[in-house]
C-alpha cells in the first residue's frame, strides 16, 4: 500500500537532507494497520553521496586520534539519551514492540555506543594500532619489521535487518566510527523510521563531521555498485540476499571486504544428568520461554531448537507450555500485553507458512493462537502467539534442522546420548549461539569444546550464574557476535576485535629509528 499523502522520510547523503522523487513504500503500524511514513530514495545521486562520505567524512575522521573519535561516540550517546522517549514511541508504532522489547533495541544500541566510547578512550592519542612486537629481519638488528593496523580509506556500507533498527545500526557504527571509517546505513524499509530518526538527531546535533554518518531509506538498488576496493560492506539478513552480495562484482572482483550475518538455527541443550524440577531444568525452561517471546521471537539469536534427555521430553514440554500460556499477546499500548506483534503482515504470513512447514515433521505441543488478542483485530494485526513444536525422532528429521521460522516458534527434540546431542546441534550447519544448561562444570566444558567450532558463541548457564548471566539471545559488545556456516561466517563486536574489520594490516620494514617514530604514533593492539 502506498499513500502519497503520508510524510516522506528524508535521506541524509552527501552532507545534506534529500527526499526521493518516487512514491516510495509506506511503513505501517503492524498492530493497527495505519500508515505512518514513506521511505524512498528515487533520484538520489548515490555516486556523489559515497564519494562525499569517503573523501570528506573519512578524511575528517582519520584526522582525529582514537581518543578524540571516542569522545564523539560519547557525544552521540548523550544525543540519543536525550531523545529516548521519541524512539520508544516510534518503536511501538512501527515495530509493534512492548516497552521491554523496545529497550532491547534502543537501550541496547545506546549501551553499545557507550561501551565503545570507553574502550576508545583507553586508546588515547594513538593514530595507528600496533600488532605484536618488532621482528628482526636478519642478523643485523637495525633492520626490523613492525605490523600495524591503519583505518581503511573507504566507506562502511551497512545493509541492516528489520528486527533491530537501533541496535543494528549502532553495534556496527560504533567500531566503524571509532576506527575512523564513515558510515552509510541502509535500514530495512519496514522499520527504517527509527534508524532515520536517530541519524537525524545526531546530524542535527553536529557531533560528527559532515559525511561521517549517512542514511538511505527505501530500495537498496545500486548501493553495492558504488563500492570501491577499500570500502567495506556489512549485511544482516537472509542467506539468499547474502549470496547475492557475495557474488556482486564489488566483492567478487574489487575485493571489497564483506561481513555477513545470516540465518541461524540456534540451540539450547539440557545436561543429560538434569532432573525434572532441578535447577538446570528450570533455567532452560525459563530461558526458552524468554527467547520465544522477547521481540516476538524476531531475533537472529533466538532459540529455535531445544535438545533435552529423552526421559525429560514430556516434562519439559509441559513446563514450557505452562509458562507460554501466561503470555498475553496483542497491542503493545495495553499495559497487560506481554508480547506485541511481528513487524508486518508480510512477516506474519511468512511465520504461519514456516510453522506449516515445520509441522510436516513435528507435532504441536503448545499453540497460543487459539486465544483472543488484547486490544487488537486479528484480521489486521500482525500478531502470532507462541508455538512450541516437538518431535520424538530428531535423528530422522530434516526440515527441523534446516528451516528457521523468524517468530515465536521453537521445536523440542529428545536425545539419547551426549554424543548424539552434539551431533544433532551441529546439523544446524553453523549458528550464532548455543546455550548449555547444567550444574556440572565438567559437562559445560565438554559441551563448549564440542560446540565452539560450529558457533560464534557458547552461552553456559549454571545455577551459580543464574542471576548474573546476560541471556542466551542478548548480544553484548564485549563478546563476539557472528557464526560460521549458514550463520554467515562473519564476526562483529567482541570488544576491540571489532575494529579489525575496519582496518588494514600492513608490515612496515624499516630501521629501528624509523620504527621508533612509528611506534610513538601507535598503541599495542591484539585481535
What residues act catalytically?
261, 300
H or E element: which one contains 459? strand 455-461
The candidate with the shortest Cα–Cα distance to 189, out of 159, 167, 213, 156, is: 159
Can you count the helices (H) and strands (E) in the chain? 15, 22
Which 3 state secondary structure label does DSSP give 414?
strand
Task: Report whether 110 contacts 77 (CB < 8 A).
Answer: yes
CA angle 39, 40, 43 (to 5 degrees): 165
Look at residues 61, 24, 58, 70 and name the one whose alpha carbon lies nearest to residue 43. Answer: 24
Exposed, middle or buried, 523 (CB in 10 Å: 0-12/13-18/19+)?
middle
Q: What is the largest CA-CA distance in the chain?
A: 81
Q: Is 178 helix (H, G, I), strand (E, B) or coil?
A: helix
Q: How far apart are CA 406 and CA 350, in angstroms?
A: 8
Residues paired with residue 434 on neighbouring β-strands, in sequence order = 267, 458
All cell numbers assigned to 175: 567500531
Length of the chain as a residue count: 527
Amino acid at each position: 500500500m502506498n499513500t502519497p499523502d503520508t510524510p516522506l522520510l528524508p535521506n541524509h547523503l552527501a552532507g545534506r537532507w534529500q527526499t526521493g522523487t518516487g512514491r516510495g513504500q509506506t511503513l505501517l503500524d503492524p498492530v493497527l494497520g495505519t500508515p505512518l511514513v514513506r521511505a524512498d530514495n528515487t533520484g538520489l545521486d548515490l555516486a556523489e553521496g559515497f564519494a562525499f562520505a569517503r573523501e570528506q567524512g573519512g578524511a575528517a575522521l582519520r584526522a582525529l586520534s582514537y581518543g578524540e573519535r571516542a569522545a564523539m561516540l560519547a557525544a552521540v550517546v548523550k544525543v540519543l539519551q536525550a531523545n529516548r522517549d521519541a524512539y520508544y514511541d516510534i518503536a511501538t508504532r512501527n515495530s509493534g514492540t512492548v516497552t521491554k522489547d523496545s529497550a532491547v533495541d534502543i537501550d541496547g544500541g545506546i549501551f553499545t555506543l557507550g561501551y565503545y566510547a570507553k574502550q576508545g578512550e583507553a586508546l588515547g592519542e594513538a593514530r595507528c594500532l600496533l600488532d605484536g612486537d618488532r621482528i628482526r629481519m636478519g642478523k643485523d638488528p637495525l633492520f626490523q619489521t613492525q605490523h600495524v593496523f591503519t583505518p581503511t580509506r573507504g566507506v562502511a556500507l551497512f545493509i541492516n535487518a528489520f528486527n533491530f533498527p537501533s541496535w543494528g545500526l549502532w553495534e556496527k557504527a560504533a567500531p566503524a566510527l571509532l576506527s575512523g571509517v564513515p558510515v552509510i546505513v541502509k535500514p530495512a524499509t519496514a522499520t527504517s523510521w527509527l534508524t532515520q530518526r536517530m541519524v537525524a538527531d545526531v546530524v542535527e546535533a553536529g557531533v560528527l563531521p559532515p559525511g561521517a554518518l549517512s542514511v538511505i531509506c527505501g530500495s537498496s538498488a545500486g548501493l553495492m555498485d558504488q563500492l570501491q576496493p577499500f570500502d567495506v560492506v556489512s549485511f544482516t539478513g537472509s542467506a539468499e540476499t547474502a549470496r547475492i552480495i557475495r557474488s556482486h562484482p564489488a566483492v567478487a572482483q574489487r575485493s571489497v571486504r564483506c561481513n555477513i550475518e545470516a540465518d541461524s538455527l540456534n540451540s539450547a541443550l539440557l545436561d543429560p544428568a538434569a532432573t525434572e524440577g532441578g535447577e538446570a531444568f528450570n533455567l532452560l525452561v525459563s530461558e526458552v520461554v524468554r527467547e520465544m517471546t522477547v521481540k516476538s521471537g524476531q531475533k537472529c539469536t533466538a532459540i529455535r531448537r531445544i535438545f533435552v534427555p529423552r526421559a525429560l521430553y514430556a516434562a519439559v514440554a509441559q513446563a514450557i507450555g505452562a509458562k507460554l500460556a501466561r503470555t498475553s499477546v496483542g497491542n503493545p499500548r495495553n499495559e497487560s500485553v506481554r508480547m506485541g506483534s511481528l513487524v508486518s503482515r508480510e512477516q506474519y504470513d511468512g511465520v504461519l507458512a514456516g510453522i506449516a512447514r515445520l509441522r510436516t515433521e513435528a507435532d504441536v505441543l503448545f499453540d497460543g493462537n487459539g486465544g483472543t488478542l488484547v486490544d487488537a483485530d486479528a484480521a489486521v494485526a500482525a500478531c502470532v502467539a507462541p508455538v512450541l513444536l516437538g518431535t520424538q525422532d530428531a535423528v530422522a528429521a530434516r526440515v527441523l534442522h534446516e528451516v528457521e521460522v523468524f517468530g515465536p516458534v521453537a521445536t523440542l527434540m529428545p536425545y539419547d546420548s551426549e554424543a548424539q546431542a552434539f551431533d544433532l546441534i551441529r546439523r544446524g550447519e553453523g549458528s550464532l549461539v548455543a546455550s548449555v544448561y547444567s550444574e556440572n562444570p565438567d559437562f559445560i566444558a565438554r559441551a563448549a569444546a564440542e560446540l565452539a567450532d560450529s558457533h560464534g558463541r557458547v552461552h553456559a548457564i549454571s545455577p551459580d550464574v543464574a542471576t548474573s548471566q546476560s541471556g542466551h539471545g542478548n548480544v553484548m559488545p564485549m563478546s563476539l557476535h557472528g557464526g560460521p556456516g549458514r550463520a554467515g561466517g562473519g564476526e562483529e563486536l567482541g570488544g576491540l576485535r571489532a575494529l579489525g574489520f575496519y582496518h588494514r594490516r600492513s608490515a612496515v620494514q624499516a630501521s629501528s629509528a624509523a620504527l621508533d617514530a612509528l611506534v610513538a604514533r601507535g598503541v599495542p593492539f591484539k585481535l
